[in-house]
Structure 1
């Protein structure tokens, strides 16, 4: 259901290697990953979901507003995590030599379509 849109998001992002639509419970709704060799991007997404869940919860406790976006920068990748609803988020993974700004644009561009499909 979401696969075509997720695949397009990765392919439209220079350096994009994967994307997952996931619940804050860590269960993936759908995903698309390219082979990057020695890194299991699905496992990365699951582990980062725990971090995002804590940030989401902390923002609620502190009254700073709902979580909208988190970007994680590692030695090899950027991971853009964008909240879609109170229950779901999308995480786009981009190689460091890729285009982070274009990735953010792609996520913002396609978030409404993902939201609509979740309903």
Structure 2
């Protein structure tokens, strides 16, 4: 199974999911699946959140709060869930505000193991 297949399997099972990305902390998308046109530049959104995630990761390390696992940003329109895969990569799921948030978190946790195996 390819990265794209795994990402697609992540979003087809989550109501309201718009896109999923495997991203590097430098903002480069390794792979992506976009389910629908949301009216937002979802790739730009993911790139900008990569910068935010790097800052949060540094803060967590400085205060010795353990390993960062997940960061969630909610706005009036979207929910963005970022799940750490390893020291170089993270998984991003962008969904509509009224989507199934609980199932999205579950799918990201579940699919993160599969993605790590595929990334070798």
Please, what TM-score do these two structures have when normalized by structure 2?
Answer: 0.95
Per-residue deviation at 1:8? Answer: 1.3
Q: Which residue of 1 aligns with 2:95?
A: 94
Range with greater deviation from structure 2 (29-38 or 5-14): 29-38
Per-residue deviation at 1:118? Answer: 1.3
- Find the aligned partners of 2:61 and 2:119 in 1 and give their Cα distance: 22
Task: Kindly tell me the number of residue pairs found equivalent between the two proteins.
Answer: 119
Q: Which residue of 1 aligns with 2:117?
A: 116
Mapping of 1:1-119 within 5 angstroms?
1-119=2-120
Please, what TM-score do these two structures have when normalized by structure 1?
Answer: 0.96
Root mean square deviation, CA, Å: 0.9
* Residue segments in structure 1 that go unaligned for 5+ positions in a row: none
Per-residue deviation at 1:38? Answer: 2.1
Runs of 4+ in 1 over 6 A off after TM superposition: none
- Find the aligned partners of 2:36 and 2:15 in 1 and give their Cα distance: 15
Per-residue deviation at 1:37? Answer: 4.2
